[in-house]
Structure formats: C-alpha cells, structure tokens
Amino acid sequence: MYRPYTGRFPFTSPHSPLNAVVFLLLLFSGACRTKKTWPVKFSEEELRKRLTPMQYHITQQRGTESAFTGEFTHHNEEGTYTCVVCGAQLFSSNSKFDSGSGWPSFFELLKEESVTLSDDFSYGMHRVETTCSQCGGHLGHLFDDGPRPTGKRYCINSASLGFQPKDAASESTTGDEAASSSVSNEKTDL
Ligand SMILES: [Zn+2]
C-alpha cells in the first residue's frame, strides 16, 4: 500500500488541520448560502404559510419556474416589481422588456444595491445568480445580452416577484386604476 506523496495535493498531509478546514469550507460553501445573514429574516413556517409552494420553492430553494408559465412574463402594467418575500422594490416596469425567453426580463435595477450577485455553477454552466439583498430570496439570473443602454438582462422568475401598480404608489393622472385590484400572487397552477 505504498502511495507516493508528491507534496502537491494539499489535503493529504495529516499535519495540516488548516487544510482540512479549507477543504470543508470549499465542500460546504454551496450549502452554506442559506446561513448567510440577510438584513430581513423570516421563519420557514411563516414563509410556507405566506407563499405559494411555487414561490417558496423558487425563492427559498433556488428553483426555476417553467418558461412562459409565470404571471408576469407578459405583464405590461405600469408600476414597480417587488421581492415577493420581503417586499423590497426591485424593478420598474419602465425597465421591463420582452426578451422572448419566457421569463420576465429587465435591463436595469431600481437600486444597484437591492440585488446581490453571486456565481452559480449549477447544471454544468456558469451563470450569475441574482438574490434579494434584503431577505436573500432567489430571484433569477443576470445575463449580458440585454438591450441598451445597460446591455444587461435580469432574467427573473415571476414567482419571485410581487407587483405594485403605479396608482398604489403615487397619484395617477391617467386614470388606469381599474387593473390594480386584479393583481394576485396566488397562482399555483402550472
Ligand atoms: Zn426580498
């Protein structure tokens, strides 16, 4: 049972507990995402009650809804898109565009700091994950093939979003308030 020790592989040395720690950190860094502390925290129990199963799965378990199934994919009202978990304002309807992807797409954030970006290597590809900076809820991914002026495409699950019609946030001069009462986040069917 002779195994040559080349000294190049850091985890074979029994005299280096630090290497073991580094190894464990690397091993669990993906699973530790949820341990990161976010400014706003909700209990699992509350979220399971308050969110639909689809909203819970996508925001808390980093799921993805099927293309063209989300309620906001072809949603064109004026207003503000919010995080469905914590209500943080994320996107203006002015930055929404039809990307043809089947998911709501935006070329710009309302506030740069409202979304946290991180590398996502799942499914054998490298993507940039977008997460709500307030509560850590998963939103979707960011791509660099968006339209001008930013060139960015925030590809966001409808189930991660809430919507505040413009009329609810500010006084309207156009009188299109009728649609605001029909907005609902309760869809669970696919
Ligand atoms: Zn949030």
* CA 75 – ligand 1 centroid, Å: 20
Q: What is the pLDDT of residues 19-56, one digit of tens each?
A: 555 554 444 444 444 457 899 999 999 999 999 999 99
Chain-centroid distance of CA 116 in Å reads 9
pTM summary value: 0.71
Q: Rounded to the nearest whole angstrom, what is the distance from the C-alpha of residue 99 to the centroid of ligand 1?
A: 24
CA of 160 to the centre of ligand 1 (A): 9
∠ CA 174-89-65, nearest 5°, is 100
Assess if CATH 2.170.150.20 describes domain 37-169.
yes
Q: Where in the chain are the domains?
A: 37-169
Per residue in 80-138, pLDDT (tens digit) is 999 999 999 999 999 999 999 999 999 999 999 999 999 999 999 999 999 999 999 99
- The reported pLDDT for the residue numbered 36 is 72
**pLDDT tens digit sequence for 145-188:** 999 999 999 999 999 999 999 986 555 444 444 444 444 444 44
Q: Tell me how far the alpha carbon of residue 138 lies from the centroid of ligand 1, in angstroms.
A: 8
User: What pLDDT score does 175 carry?
Assistant: 44
**Residues, beta carbon < 5 Å, ion ligand 1:** 83, 85-86, 88, 132, 134-135, 137
Identify the pLDDT of residue 19.
58
